[in-house]
A and B are shown apart, each in its own frame.
Chain A
Amino acid sequence: MKVIELIDVHKIYKTAYYEVHALSGVNLSVKKGEFVAIMGPSGSGKSTLLHLIGCLDKPTRGEVKISGIEISNLNDRELTKLRRDSIGFVFQQYNLIPTLTALENVELPLIFCGMNGGEREAKAKELLKQVGIEEVANRKPTELSGGQQQRVAIARALANNPTILLCDEPTGNLDTKSGEAVMKIIRELNKNEGVTVILVTHDPSLSDFADRVVNIRDGRIEVEDVS
């Protein structure tokens, strides 16, 4: 079953002075439970691709289908709902809310879908435990190491039991050791929970974690390695 399907997707950014063809005719399908790594140099369009899959943006041309739903026809509210209920994001810069504690950051998506206080806290604690940092639940992001922050971000991404986990250079700001730990957590999630994972990176060493590697260059998919 295809969870993600991109058909001849183009993305053109128009600025005042020039146009950027960030994606030029991308075709991609991802099956449920797959772990796909998207590799390519900086500026090749990886983040753009991930944002389209994550319903943060719409393609200039072509179709993006998430669980069979074509996103071009959805309004802002419907896209938001789709993000909230089906997609988890993990960013390179962690992007935690600085005023909230680790636990509260994980609770945030649960608040957005209206879960009540007690249930929310229990679930968030459970998630922090799952990523192995329940002991720092009450610390603010600034009191956490990079690796810990990224784990909080993963826990937050998982809060609404998403079908798709989108990771944009999740180890980019981490040292090798904590990077590896983070990658292990992501792979465990994929293996044990069946979460579909799209990993964007320019680091070839991460390709080992993936079922499949998609190479992207200048907005086009080059070779597909099937392992």
Chain B
Amino acid sequence: MYLELARRNLQRAKTRSILAIVGIIIGVMAVASIGIFGNSMRQSVLERFEDLADTIIVSPKHSEGFTEIDEDDIKLIKKTSYIDYAIPVKDKREMVKYKDSKAFLTVYGIDEEDLKKLYEPYEGSIKLKGSAVVGYQLAEDFGLNLGSKLTVGGEQFKVAGILESQGISVGLSPDNAVFLSVEDFDKLFDRGYTSVVIQVESLDYIDTVEKSIDHAVNRRDEKVDIRDFESLIENIEASLSTMTQFLTAIAAISLLVAGVSILNIMLMSTMERTKEIGVMRAIGAFRETILRIFLLEALILGLIGSVVGAGMSLVGGYLIISMMGFTTSYILDLSSVFYVAEGFSVGILTAVASGLYPAWKASKLEPIEALRYE
């Protein structure tokens, strides 16, 4: 019956109630869809990174004065158990020219078979006997085609292959690089190996492999740095969730606005119904009864707004995600349900919290004053 009373009071001021509900809907939608969006973004970014997580990169320890990795050490590294492969790479920043374009780029010296293990060709094939393989972005920027003659360190190399675009990658940065065979590299530059890319059999062995390399190579001197990408992924995850939190905070402001409008609407309603409150108190309503009726009104507003808002946030989340070009496959994920639930409960909480003060004020009215009110 109190419910019915509350419902009718809301119906009496229909426009106002609808405005309050719209406010809550927008707030809940903003909070929930940004949550869903942030989550989807995190999942799709992490999915790309997870492929890289089983990679270990060994590089010379510059702080100890080492700039290269010895051939002997590379042999030791290759013998480590639980690894799929260990690929030694040389690199150098060097002027690369093609027709009118020129730039300082990374030139890698790598074994042909090893390069095949790392990347797939987008065009042509991975052949390094007197020829070069270039990254996707470089081909794009320089307008390179298969057969184009590229000048590296004064020597010309025919482009035999263009790699697929990698985007995010670890260890090497292939998109803007030139790959030469180790023999060709050695003709141009006098340089030893500068890194080893190791693919571990499974994520579980990362620590074991790192320890055994450390044990084998760094026994006497700290010669090499051993890095994996677990912490990198953790960092990315942390910064993505910071970003999501920031967006959610902005969304929360819209809920705050909704809360203020409910506060305002309910205060108006309290004023208008002063006399009614007085009458109810006169005929035997306790303060709590008045409090309950008003809170119930706020609750109903919050409930309707939150239900509709939660439903619409799935749609809103979908729109943002597809607009930003992330995969929408995580929308119906369990964690999305969590964000919808979060938006829902925050919506209800906002409504009830905003109703608290007006309801308290209504319940504090002295019946005699309320009755005299015109």
Residues of A whose CB lies within 8 Å of any CB of B are: 51, 54, 56-57, 76-77, 80-81, 83-85, 88-89, 91, 95-100, 107-109, 111-113, 117, 156-157, 160
A-B interface pairs (CB < 8 A), number: 65
Closest to B281 in A: A80
A-B contact pairs, 20 of them (CB 8 A): A56-B367, A56-B368, A57-B366, A76-B287, A77-B287, A80-B284, A83-B284, A84-B283, A84-B284, A89-B282, A91-B279, A91-B371, A95-B275, A97-B279, A112-B283, A112-B284, A112-B285, A112-B286, A156-B283, A157-B283
Question: A84 contacts which chain B residues (CB < 8 A)?
Answer: 283-284
Q: Is the CB of A85 within 8 A of B284?
A: yes
- Residue contact A111 to B276, C-beta cutoff 8 Å: no
B281 touches A100 (CB 8 A): no
* Separation of A157 and B279 alpha carbons in the complex (Å): 11
Chain A residues with CB below 8 A from B280, complex form: 97, 108, 112
Closest to A57 in B: B368
Given contacts A83-B282, A83-B284, A88-B283, 5 further A-B contacts (CB under 8 A): A95-B275, A100-B5, A109-B284, A112-B283, A113-B284
Q: A-contacting residues of B (Cβ < 8 Å)?
A: 1-2, 5, 8-9, 11-12, 275-276, 279-287, 289, 366-368, 371
Q: Give the distance to chain A from B56, nearest Cβ to Cβ, in Å.
A: 72
Residue of A nearest to B12 (CB): A99
The interface residues of chain A lying within 8 Å CB-to-CB of B371 are 51, 56, 91, 95
A107 contacts across to B, CB distance below 8 A: 1
Q: Is the CB of A108 within 8 A of B12?
A: no
Contact of B5 among A54, A56, A99 (CB under 8 A): A99
B310 CB to closest chain A CB (Å) equals: 29
Of the candidates B12, B284, B368, which one forms a contact with A51 in the assembled complex, judged by CB atoms under 8 Å apart?
B368
Contact status of A99 and B8, CB under 8 A, knowing A54-B282, A89-B283, A109-B284:
yes
The distance in angstroms between the C-alpha atoms of A7 and B42, with both chains bound, is: 78
In the assembled complex, which residues on chain B have CB atoms less than 8 Å from the CB atom of A111? 1-2
Q: Are A99 and B9 in contact (CB under 8 A)?
A: yes
Least CB distance from B342 to A in Å reads: 35
Please, which residues of chain B bring their CB within 8 A of the CB of A117?
Answer: 1
- What is the CA–CA distance of A113 and B9 in the complex, to the nearest angstrom? 22
A36-B371 Cα distance, complex, nearest whole Å: 23
Residues B368 and A83 in contact, CB atoms below 8 Å apart: no
What 4 A-B pairs have minimum CB-CB distances, sorted nearest first? Answer: A84-B284, A99-B8, A112-B284, A95-B279
Which of B12, B279, B280, B282 has most chain A Cβ within 10 Å? Answer: B282
**Which chain A residue lies CB-closest to B276?**
A97
Residues of chain A contacted by B366 (CB below 8 angstroms): 57
Q: Which residues of B contact A97 (CB under 8 A)?
A: 5, 276, 279-280
Are B283 and A108 in contact (CB-based, < 8 A)?
A: yes
Contacts of A77 in B (CB 8 A): 286-287
Q: CA of A85 to CA of B286 in the docked complex: distance in angstroms?
A: 13
Tell me the complex Cα distance, A89–B281, Å.
Answer: 11
In the complex, chain A residues whose CB is within 8 Å of the CB of B1: 107, 111, 117
Q: For the complex, what is the distance from the CA of A124 to the CA of B136, rounded to whole Å? A: 85
A129 to chain B, nearest CB (A): 20
Nearest CB of chain B from residue A148's CB, rounded to whole Å: 18
- B277 shortest CB reach to chain A, Å: 10
User: Which residues from chain A contact B276 at a C-beta distance below 8 Å?
Assistant: 95, 97-98
Instruction: Give Cα distance in the complex from A84 to B286, angstroms.
Output: 9
CB distance from A103 to the nearest CB of B (A): 12
Docked Cα-Cα span, A83 to B289, in Å, equals 15
Residue of B nearest to A88 (CB): B283
**What residue of chain A has the Cβ atom nearest to residue B6's Cβ?**
A99
The CA-CA distance from A157 to B285 in the complex, in Å, is 13
